[in-house]
Structure 1
Amino acid sequence: VVPSDIEAHKALDDNERYKVVWTVLNALRAHDDRFNATVNKIELNKKKPGQILVGRPEVSFENGKPVTSSGDENRKGQEIAEQLSLQFQELQSVIFARMVQKVGDRRYWEQWAKNVAEIAERQIERINHLIKESEKHKKAFESFLVGLQKNINPSITQQEAVEMLSQHTITKPVFEALFEDYSFVKNNPISISMQKMLNLLEANAVEKDTETLDKFYESVRKRASDIDNAEGKQRIIIELYDKFFKTAFPKMVERLGIVYTPVEIVDFIINSVDHILKKEFGRSISDENVHILDPFTGTGTFITRLLQSGLIPKKDLQRKYQHEIHANEIVLLAYYIAAVNIENAFHDAFGSKEYQAFDGICLTDTFQLGETDESESFLSEIFPQNSERVLKQKKAPLRIIMGNPPYSVGQKSVNDDAQNQNYNKLNIRIGQTYVRESSANLKNSLYDSYIKAFRWSSDRLDKNGGVICFVSNGAWIDGNAQDGFRKCLEDEFTAIYVFNLRGNQRTSGELSRKEGGKIFGSGSRTPIAITLLVKKPKQSKKKGEIFYHDIGDYLSREEKLHIITKFNFVGNSSINWKVLNPNEHGDWIHQRSSKFDTFICIGDKDATEIKQLFNPFYSRGLSSSRDAWVYNSSNKKLHKNIESSIFFYNEQRVNYHKKLKKDIDIIKHLDRDLGKIVWTDTLIRDVGKNIEYKIQKFRTISLYRPFFKQYLYNDKLLIHRTYQIPKLFPNEGIKNIVICISGVGSNKPFSSVITNIIPCLDTLEKTQCFPLYYYEKREKQNPSLFDAADDNSEYVRRDGISDFILDNAQKIYGKRVSKEDIFYYVYGFLHAPKYRETFANDLKKMLPRLPLVDEPRDFWKFSKAGRELAD
């Protein structure tokens, strides 16, 4: 019994009161497979099951007396009955939802994912063995691999091809179980080609694995049977896809940045594209010859929702489906799922009983399409139909490109073996545009996958213009390295809409809370934005108009999705679009101050002038890439870690040169267990050169984090990047002091600390170190008259503070000012709250610039404060 005066979801939260209900239902489920299947289908079907009844009284009550729900003599009683009826409808929905939560069993799916990972591993080993041992299998596989390389990407490896075969073997019966009405497996061109290859291998299946998978397939069949709508089946497919990939192929998930796009965002994008097409071009998304491409279709959500949206009238649906809608996918399983989702959605919307394959989907690498000339043939004997589809798409005049591009920036270390593919022509285009227009020093992020997606799409749109709309990593909106990207968007497009969904979880504390929930959940920690670009043939060189909307602070993921649903499309008048006017730096938001430019830069290694506070020998903090080995709070544990790390390196080096020294690709033959070592390019190079490592006595103390010291094994062989640190701290006997500040592009507020020991790159975020002194090895001949010899005669000490700033300071404050006074003045000034607050945007995007204050007394106050802070 649920009290009528309590909200349904709150009442059912009383676990103790309703515990017996869930216990009884779980007992029934354990003994009745049909009831189990019914419960697990509740959330998938529009029509609720007739076998489960949620009852209510036929009469309502007022003041303890029954009141009929009809009759003119008691109007008030009728109203009460109607209200109870409405409350009951809500209660019924909540009970069904809670039943799935309390009684439905998702754990089996999780367990299946783990089983699949193990079975996939065994299948991969078995296929590799067959290819190696059987000449017949080897020859067939070589043709198969060439076909994949022609259709997808020339860099497809044998291992990746074998993984695809494993995916196909495991998932083929899933689709047959889900779609019994028509055989996707027998009609899809890629599936047909895969099956031909696998027909050679099926006789070698392991009985135990087959038995395990058969149980799972039966589970899918039970859950999928009698589902009354396309969306329900799609939810099952996506659930399987999500669990399968994260467990069975985690490196592929990381390399390709695989995340599932919430339908709220997909619908917003589809509706926005249709609105802009009408507004800017006088066309509709359903018009003839308006070709649409989802270049990174994943599980096909964008095309599926488009077919279900009602934006394409039924009279146009067949034409759009057969000729004008295109989709690409590089991952085999995702391609299969996208194809069946799209085909199922079409049959549902069109009402066709006859199976019609979706010929617009290609198994291919979208970026690779721009690498081949029209004269180069995609045709392959192994995948003939897919090749024809690719060629057809390449000729299509694309007016709409929309989707969710991959987010990956490549592998974190060589151990991951998840490096992104290189695209020469696309990279050249990025260099000619985004990179050339950027003033940033570090521009690697301009080659991130999602930036490549913008460049490829901008070049691929039809000459008569069109619309691009992506939901992507939103770091570009305010990123330092993306200034050139932003400038190019202004130049290449007539209108730009940016809906910033925030969610940057690379921040911390209050800043992280303000960013709010992550739109993609655990799939991404980056900020997210919806970007819509309008490209019209320009009559003038006028820059594009930029419309910007920030979703707001402290919003949960659910609140953000609710706002997106409410807005529905970019043309909604309730969206408060702000028109942006970029400054000369290419800042769109959080713009830098023009006053900041008038100050003196703290340091600039590329400067042609000498107007800087420090000489150009400042440095980033030490970057080891293997902190777990070279840092430790215990000197004894540090020694043990270094000993095991060096032993493992030497063991791998010896093994490589004994067996495979002629193979150029060294990393393939190394043990990439992250628990033993982190392989970087320097270590791999030394393996190739057969350089033996020996444990040394290079131990010192380092500032690992603010106010947290650790022992450091300071050997350049095991330190990935030392930068200029050896010039600041040449050895333990030489003393120095350095000001450490947050580096450019930090996600955290500007900060500064001072230290007399070696700082780590992560002491602060992207730490930059400005020294009181730097040291150079003394030349044995021709010593300078001005060399300041340290106690250690091997090195010459030089001043970190420039002569330029000393001369200027002495002119204003008097000759008694020393470089040390200026050093502490800088440190004191960097802590001034007003300075940090006023120039917060500048300090995030560039190295500090400081003024020399007008009054001598103020200079000495800051210098004194700096000394006191240092102490």
Structure 2
Amino acid sequence: MSQHLINEYRAELDRLRAASGSRRESVLREAFKDLLKRWGRAQDLQFIAEHDILTKQMTRIYVDGALLHGLRVPFGYWEAKDESDDLDKEIEAKFRKGYPKDNIVFTDDATAILWQDGAEVLRAKMQADDDSLLNLLTVFFAHERKEVADFNKAVKQFAADLPHVLAALRERIAEKNAQSREFAAAAQAFLKHARDAINPAVSEDDVREMLIQHILTEDIFAKVFDNPDFHQQNNVAAELKKLEDVLFKRGEKSTLLRALAPYYAGIASTAALIQSHSEKQGFLKALYEDFYKAYNRKAADRLGVVYTPGEIVRFMIRSADWLCEKHFGKNLIDRGVEILDPATGTGTFIVELLEHFRGNHDKLRHKYKEELHANEVAILPYYVANLNIEATYQAITGQFAEFENLCLVDTLDNVDALGIHSGHQFDLLGSLSDENIERIKRQNRRKISVIIGNPPYNANQQNENDDNKNRAYGHIDKRIKNTYIKESNAKKPKAYDMYARFYRWAADRLSDEGIVAFITNRSFLWAKTYDGFRKLALRDFAEIWVCDLGGDWKQKGDGGGANVFGISTGVAICFLVKKKKSSADRIHYGSQSHTLALEDKLSAIAHGNLGDVSATEVRPDNLGYWIDPGHPDFGQHIPMISEKTKKAKGPRGIDAIFREFTNGINTARDSWVYGIKDADVSSKISFFGSIYNAHRDGKKFDTSIKWSRNLKKRRKSGVRDSFSGKEFSAIIYFT
């Protein structure tokens, strides 16, 4: 396999030379880049072009390529030079600038030189017919730090041990709650505060899990960022620390967490390998994602726990900056431009905004203190965001300053700052801590100019058996019903996806002018149920840009291909520009080819902005379709049926050919009640009935059968059913 890749590389290099007539590094390095990508992909390594590193000298450098582990820990690097350069002198110059020496390949058109662990290891002739290049790359890809190998083993063991640790912690909390009045009172006080400040639906179980997350993650942050006092300094963490101090007697915590000790040790040793602050951020984000999925996979899915690749974040920031200057004559760093990330997760967007503002410290200090805002509802990512943001600011400015504009709050419940609409709910906030509540109210007093981020991606629950529903948001859902759904022509529009809620919230929060930049599910581009959203977006915004990244595994053509999040649902970036009394009549639409691999998709947008995108101006049709216009305008014809005609009394109000219509036989359980033989159907229904009647507790439902909402209610009411097995009907069944 490896020799095959070398042969392909040499053939491609020959084609590039013949086609370009050039020996310049910028032309010929593409062949070697493809070789590294393919070889790395076979070892689950991701290739990142123009990878940035913050050196020990606090300068930013860009290597031509980096291969990263899944946890964003660097595996190795590549730097290319022209054949006319003196490669050895170029290597010396690069090392003086702070280039890594642990596992890096330097190449020109003639020679490859491998450095590992601070010393030159091998040289190879790029075009020689011998095995020197194969040997060099074999050694390069075989390099593995012991710390990384040990950590990978610890991660696997962590997933196996964590359920037992969680059970012990939950048992300990239950015992303490029953035996200690002090702990029970403290837990109830925290519960009241959490309901007031975070979410009215917060339960005792939620408080318990917040406490557990706090206990489990203290060491993680201390190891990665060398800040053991964070949990005592942070305004919300301090409240949880009080609960923890009441929970444990001396030595109890370390005893309970003993099984996870190799995991924490692995974090410490692996984090020590990461020199630059930006790579530590990537490591912590990936660590958080893996931790949360091991801790609670359903919650991770519901909250949309997945980090946004840095290339996409930087593209969105540069593009928002470009749009801000184009439409409002200001840049993001200028005073008066207030920026909010409403679902900040691990703080990626705020961190990259700080990096974007690097080099102008006076404006950066003001922006950091006054005009950067972020919200997060889950306690674990809230902690990560705090550390990421504050550590990044300190790395840039050389000064530590608390990031006072990060709020622990559910953005979709925080509706006090929205425009007044029918059914508007005013201030829902109480106080988790006086400081946190003041942060929220301070944010609500600000006129937000730019809303940017990655809203939670989880869609509506697909199956009642999943028991993993998104909660309802009264005010936002009513706004969706009165706007997107009201404008929809879909038979049964469902526009309550989390990202649709965030679009609705953001459109209301911006007031008269501003920019919304979200990366979300791409179904809003074409799905019938989002026609109301598309129509209103055209009215509410002056300019709309869409970068369609594809990746929908269920579609062929440009909807398919690699997915930038590794999920099955396609992804798109949408930029909406709002201006006073101005609406859009066209969409700027650009899409990536479905043939691109993941690293190529990220590389294509790694250094540009919307101004560099090859976009087509698309005029939406009158049915609310943005892309692929030209659907037949059925709205000009008399419908076959309509609800209005069915409900009309007398001839008035009739606007359809037929008055009566029905869904026909609708079982919603065809696989259970239809079959080829009577005996097959009888057996299936008997089994279904036995599971239904045997159910007792009304909480955890046996997933051997399909439970609908109504069936659950029926069983909870104590209704039992029986099957006689005497009546069957023959039908013609179409599929």
TM-score bracket relative to the smaller structure: 0.7 to 0.9
Q: Distance in 2 between matches of 1:434 and 1:452?
A: 10
Q: Distance in 2 between matches of 1:448 and 1:545?
A: 25
Q: State the Cα deviation string for residues 758-778 of structure 1 (Å, max 9, x = none).
A: x5xxx3xxxxxxxxxxxxxxx
| Change in 2 beyond 3 A, CA 1:119/1:341 | same
Offset at 1:220? 1.4
Q: Distance in 1 between matches of 2:629 and 2:321?
A: 33
Q: Distance in 1 between matches of 2:34 and 2:575?
A: 39
- Match runs of 1:301-316 below 5 Å: 301-310=348-357, 313-316=360-363
Name which of 155, 163, 166 aligns with 2:201.
Answer: 155
SS for the counterpart of 1:498 is strand
- Match runs of 1:165-204 below 5 Å: 165-181=211-227, 183-203=229-249
Higher mean displacement: 221-230 or 96-105: 96-105
Q: Distance in 2 between matches of 1:207 and 1:181?
A: 19
Contact 2:557 2:594 in 1 (8 A): no
Q: Distance in 2 between matches of 1:270 and 1:228?
A: 25
Higher mean displacement: 233-242 or 130-139: 130-139
Is 1:339 the equivalent of 2:383?
Answer: no
What is aligned with 2:692?
Answer: 649
Structure 1 residues not aligned, in runs of 5+: 19-38, 65-86, 657-668, 701-731, 736-755, 764-871
Name which of 551, 555, 564 aligns with 1:519.
Answer: 564
Offset at 1:399? 0.6
Contact 2:416 2:427 in 1 (8 A): no
Is 1:278 the equivalent of 2:329?
Answer: no
Name which of 250, 261, 266 aligns with 1:214.
Answer: 261
Is 1:623 the equivalent of 2:668?
Answer: yes
Is 1:589 the equivalent of 2:589?
Answer: no
Q: Distance in 2 between matches of 1:98 and 1:185?
A: 39
Q: State the Cα deviation string for residues 580-628 of structure 1 (Å, max 9, x = none).
A: 222221122223444766777665565565865996235486422x95x
What is aligned with 1:461?
Answer: 510
Q: Distance in 1 between matches of 2:536 and 2:34?
A: 51
Offset at 1:563? 2.1
Name which of 360, 364, 384 aligns with 2:409.
Answer: 364
SS for the counterpart of 2:158 is helix
Which amino acid in 1 is paired with 2:533?
Answer: F
Offset at 1:147? 1.1
| Change in 2 beyond 3 A, CA 1:472/1:542 | closer
Is 1:451 the equivalent of 2:500?
Answer: yes
Is 1:319 the equivalent of 2:366?
Answer: yes
SS for the counterpart of 1:531 is strand
Q: Distance in 1 between matches of 2:260 and 2:572?
A: 40
Is 1:428 the equivalent of 2:478?
Answer: yes
SS for the counterpart of 1:398 is coil
Which amino acid in 2 is paired with 1:426?
Answer: I
Name which of 715, 719, 727 aligns with 1:691.
Answer: 719
Contact 1:400 1:468 in 2 (8 A): yes
What is aligned with 1:55?
Answer: 121
Contact 1:174 1:220 in 2 (8 A): yes
Is 1:392 the equivalent of 2:448?
Answer: no
Q: Distance in 1 between matches of 2:33 and 2:429?
A: 59
SS for the counterpart of 2:339 is strand
Contact 1:632 1:638 in 2 (8 A): yes
| Change in 2 beyond 3 A, CA 1:634/1:214 | farther
Offset at 1:374? 9.6
What is aligned with 2:429?
Answer: 378
Work out the percentage of aligned pairs sharing the same amino acid.
27
Contact 1:326 1:360 in 2 (8 A): yes
SS for the counterpart of 1:571 is helix
TM-score by length of 2: 0.77
SS for the counterpart of 2:393 is helix
Contact 1:8 1:91 in 2 (8 A): no
What is aligned with 2:17?
Answer: none
SS for the counterpart of 1:260 is coil
Q: Distance in 2 between matches of 1:501 and 1:183?
A: 41
Q: Distance in 2 between matches of 1:180 and 1:46?
A: 24
Q: Distance in 2 between matches of 1:454 and 1:14?
A: 41
| Change in 2 beyond 3 A, CA 1:12/1:191 | closer
TM-score by length of 1: 0.66
| Change in 2 beyond 3 A, CA 1:534/1:598 | closer
Offset at 1:633? 7.7
Q: Distance in 1 between matches of 2:577 and 2:640?
A: 41
Which amino acid in 2 is paired with 1:360?
Answer: N
Offset at 1:144? 0.7
What is aligned with 1:548?
Answer: 589
| Change in 2 beyond 3 A, CA 1:576/1:136 | same
Offset at 1:223? 1.6
- Match runs of 1:80-99 below 5 Å: 96=140, 98-99=142-143
Contact 1:42 1:48 in 2 (8 A): no
SS for the counterpart of 2:575 is strand
Name which of 268, 289, 295 aligns with 1:242.
Answer: 289
SS for the counterpart of 2:606 is helix
SS for the counterpart of 1:110 is helix
Is 1:558 the equivalent of 2:603?
Answer: no
What is aligned with 1:300?
Answer: 347
Which amino acid in 2 is paired with 1:177?
Answer: K
Q: Distance in 2 between matches of 1:466 and 1:166?
A: 40
Higher mean displacement: 364-373 or 328-337: 364-373
Q: Distance in 2 between matches of 1:512 and 1:108?
A: 41
Name which of 537, 540, 549 aligns with 1:501.
Answer: 549
Contact 1:547 1:577 in 2 (8 A): yes
Offset at 1:245? 1.5
Aligned length: 631
Offset at 1:401? 0.5
Offset at 1:237? 1.0
Contact 1:503 1:517 in 2 (8 A): yes
Q: State the Cα deviation string for residues 739-797 of structure 1 (Å, max 9, x = none).
A: xxxxxxxxxxxxxxxxx13x5xxx3xxxxxxxxxxxxxxxxxxxxxxxxxxxxxxxxxx
Root mean square deviation, CA, Å: 3.8
| Change in 2 beyond 3 A, CA 1:514/1:383 | closer
Structure 2 residues not aligned, in runs of 5+: 11-31, 44-71, 78-97, 103-115, 418-423, 646-652
Is 1:406 the equivalent of 2:469?
Answer: no
* Structure having the higher Rg: 1
Q: State the Cα deviation string for residues 416-463 of structure 1 (Å, max 9, x = none).
A: 33222222221222222212211212122x121101101111111154
SS for the counterpart of 2:554 is coil
Offset at 1:103? 9.5
What is aligned with 1:224?
Answer: 271
Q: State the Cα deviation string for residues 307-344 of structure 1 (Å, max 9, x = none).
A: 12246622222221122111111111111111111112
Contact 1:304 1:345 in 2 (8 A): yes
Contact 1:46 1:228 in 2 (8 A): no
Q: State the Cα deviation string for residues 320-370 of structure 1 (Å, max 9, x = none).
A: 112211111111111111111111221222223xx3222121111001100
Q: State the Cα deviation string for residues 382-405 of structure 1 (Å, max 9, x = none).
A: 522211211111112211100011
Offset at 1:58? 11
Offset at 1:42? 4.9
Q: State the Cα deviation string for residues 510-567 of structure 1 (Å, max 9, x = none).
A: x268621212113xx22211110111222xx65454211222343333332222225x
Q: Distance in 2 between matches of 1:11 and 1:516?
A: 20
SS for the counterpart of 1:501 is strand
Q: Distance in 1 between matches of 2:268 and 2:579?
A: 50
| Change in 2 beyond 3 A, CA 1:577/1:311 | farther
Which amino acid in 2 is paired with 1:458?
Answer: A
Offset at 1:371? 5.9
| Change in 2 beyond 3 A, CA 1:397/1:312 | farther
| Change in 2 beyond 3 A, CA 1:614/1:512 | farther
Contact 1:286 1:316 in 2 (8 A): yes
Name which of 265, 286, 309 aligns with 1:262.
Answer: 309
Offset at 1:213? 2.3
| Change in 2 beyond 3 A, CA 1:321/1:242 | same
Offset at 1:40? 7.1
Is 1:108 the equivalent of 2:161?
Answer: no
